[in-house]
Amino acid sequence: MNSSDLPNQQDSAGGEDKRVSPHLRVVFETACRITAPFFDPAQGWGGKSLTMYARQALREEYPNLTQQDIAILFAAVQRFHRDSANK
């Protein structure tokens, strides 16, 4: 994803985009791919989910992000995978 792939700073209603973490939007797609195995219900260890390791994978992949950024990114990725599984 490059900067030309990002939407302009307006939402579909014509207002300004209120999101404050555009640097996380740039890495979101890659973060979803990196964490996909941890959210796969067919994967697991002793019947336990591996989602707790997804946050660590994000920390390792993006060491320059703050803990707050990792928490925001993890929450978004977790929501993405949960919503994808329900479709």
pTM attached to this predicted model: 0.72
3-state secondary structure of 60: helix
What's residue 14's pLDDT?
A: 56
pLDDT in tens, 38-61: 998 888 888 777 888 999 999 999
Of residues 39, 42, 41, the one with CA closest to residue 55: 39
Alpha helices in the chain (DSSP H): 22-39, 52-61, 67-85
Does residue 16 register a pLDDT over 80? Answer: no
Rounded CA separation 79/48 (Å)? 19
Rounded CA separation 48/63 (Å)? 27
Rounded CA separation 33/11 (Å)? 25
Query: In the chain, where are the structural domains located?
Result: 21-85
Task: Pick the more confident residue, 84 or 66.
Answer: 66
